[in-house]
Amino acid sequence: MTLIDRRGALAFLGLAGLTALAGCTTSGPQFTEQVFTSEYGAVKDGGYTIPAVPIDRVPTQFHRQVVTYRTKEKPGTIIVDTRSRHLYYVMPGNKAMRYGIGVGRAGFAWEGEAYVSWKQPWPRWHPPKEMIARDPRLKKYADGGQAPGLGNPLGARALYLFDNNGKDTLYRLHGTPEWKSIGTAASSGCIRLMNQDIIDLYSRVKPGKSAKVVVIQ
């Protein structure tokens, strides 16, 4: 993902310690009902042309698909399963839209609840001070951040997660130009989706307290 600083990780871990996850458990096998493999072609969006993903090189389990999914969470909830590398957008009727994700090292520090406070198309990326200290080449982004574009680490969309006290956790659900990282543990960051998938998820999510995000290990 986003390349998050340690303060953000600690803030979210503090939240996690206060949060019970019993409500997001699932039961029974998942059955795939519809796979959207054909929807990873080139996309013109916001003045950019997002390249097609060679989706045949991505394992089918990480293609966007509707699955049978039983949970106590309400429709509209996002459930991030970092271990299986899947993100679920809960739908009515025991169904969910499932997306493949890449999980950064900071992403494995998550375990708790938040909500999508706001969302942004083609966001700027602001590298944390610690990252700039490790890589002086990023110093040029210290003030204004990296401009939106096809090479921006946040990709085509970003969803910004806040805790239930209204504080920015500094965690993001976002796109990535690095489709090869989907289904893997990246060296840094949090939760990333293929750009075509984050655009789809973005269109479904209405920011606010009802846009609950549950992160499980």
Instruction: Give pLDDT, residue 2.
Output: 42
Instruction: Give pLDDT, residue 32.
Output: 95
Residue with tokens 């600690």: 10
Instruction: Give pLDDT, residue 188.
Output: 60
Instruction: Give pLDDT, residue 22.
Output: 38
How many other CB atoms sit within 10 Å of the CB of residue 151? 10
Active site residues: 174, 190
SS3 state of residue 102: strand
> In one letter, which amino acid is 142?
A
How many other CB atoms sit within 10 Å of the CB of residue 6? 12
Instruction: Give pLDDT, residue 8.
Output: 41
Instruction: Give pLDDT, residue 186.
Output: 72
Rounded Cα distance between 131 and 145, Å, is 13
6-216: CATH architecture: Beta Barrel (2.40)
Instruction: Give pLDDT, residue 10.
Output: 37
Rounded Cα distance between 55 and 179, Å, is 9
Give mean pLDDT in consecutive 10-residue pieces for the chain, a chain of 217 residues: 40 40 53 96 97 97 97 97 95 97 70 94 85 83 87 94 91 93 79 97 96 92
pTM of the full structure: 0.84
